[in-house]
Amino acid sequence: MAPVFAHGQLRLYLLSLLESGPKHGYELITALSDRFGGTYRPSPGTVYPRLARLEEEGLVRRVDEDRKSTYSLTDAGRAELAARSDDLAHLEEGIAETVRERAEEVRADVRGSMRGLRADLAAAAQQARASAVPHTPTPSDDPRLASHLRTADAEAMIQRFRDEIRADLRRADARGAVEQLTVDTLRTVLDTALTAVRATLR
């Protein structure tokens, strides 16, 4: 993917995000990620040096408390924003276009991944059928009991998947890191798995 911001644009956009009030660095990173629909999330190594530079220029004020730093606009920062309102409007237009382009790229990547997943599931099912060891029934065999045992095994796998993905989602949610792409991917994977499993049921 192409770079999101041209030279100097992230600096200007950080100022615009602070216009609504003081924010922690993490809040600025999250706000940027939200603005791009989760398709772009700057690293702390990208954001904090620019905040430090803005502070050196007198455009931003930093207040340290409880091991966290809060950043807010100074009068000079507000004046800078006012003077560059046209640049900011142009930047917003560019961001909207970038979001559209990146979202389409992500959708194309997911569609490609799902095609590969469907092919892998079909191949795995075919291999399982081919490698199945023929079973010679005996008078003591109970098909209903065997089916019940397999059902219990399948339900245990479903429960384990549910528990693990739920725990992962909650950990990510605590960091504010659950994005729409995660939900879309989960929906597509589950729909694909449901179709593949149903095809094996008589």
Q: Using alpha carbons only, what angle is made at residue 33 by residues 11 and 8, rounded to the nearest 5 degrees?
A: 15
User: Residue-wise pLDDT tens for the chain (202 aa)?
Assistant: 446 677 788 889 999 999 989 999 999 999 888 887 777 788 899 899 999 999 999 999 999 887 788 999 999 999 999 999 898 888 888 887 777 776 676 667 777 777 777 777 777 766 766 666 655 555 456 777 777 788 888 888 888 888 788 888 888 887 888 888 888 788 888 877 888 788 888 6
Report pLDDT for 176. Answer: 82
Closest among 149, 202, 181 to 36, alpha carbons compared? 181
- What angle in degrees, to the nearest 10, is found between the helix axes of 9-18 and 44-56? 80
How many angstroms separate the most distant Cα atoms in the chain? 90
Which residues have C-beta within 8 Å of that of residue 76, sequence separation ≥ 6?
Answer: 57, 58, 59
CA dist list (Å): 160 to 36, 155, 165, 182: 33, 9, 9, 19
What's the whole-model pTM score?
0.49
Over the Cα atoms of the chain, what is R_g?
A: 26
